[in-house]
Amino acid sequence: SYELTQPPSVSVSPGQTASIACSGDKLGDKYVCWYQQKPGQSPVLVIYQNNNRPSGIPERFSGSSSGNTATLTISGTQAIDEADYYCQAWDSTTSYVFGTGTKVTVL
């Protein structure tokens, strides 16, 4: 089965850049999206098709993908960005797959 692996946690200082990696076999050949989930809330789509932002998502959120890794970047991180982040892709053998999730802490 297809798997997506993320680091359990990432720490960042306010105003700095946070980068969250998502690794999977030949992930660069697939479309990747990212969800933000704050405590007690439902997931919110923040990036789709590797690097597109839905309406209403701040420009500080961006994405990229190449090789076996996709990356979500939060530029000028704010306290309100503290949340869990999940990557997600689609694979022909496993269908929809979520990453293991990364907790972003803004120190």
Residue ranges binding other proteins (CB under 8 A): 1, 31, 33, 35, 37, 42-45, 48-49, 54, 86, 88-90, 94-101
> Distance (Å, rounded) from C-alpha 95 to C-alpha 106?
33
Instruction: Residue 84: count other Cβ atoms within 10 Å of its Cβ.
Output: 17
Closest CB to other proteins among 35 and 82? 35
Query: Taking the complex as a whole, how short is the minimal distance between the CB of residue 100 and other proteins, in angstroms?
Result: 6
Query: Taking the complex as a whole, how short is the minimal distance between the CB of residue 87 and other proteins, in angstroms?
Result: 10
Closest CB to other proteins among 1 and 59? 1
Query: Taking the complex as a whole, how short is the minimal distance between the CB of residue 1 and other proteins, in angstroms?
Result: 7
Closest CB to other proteins among 19 and 49? 49
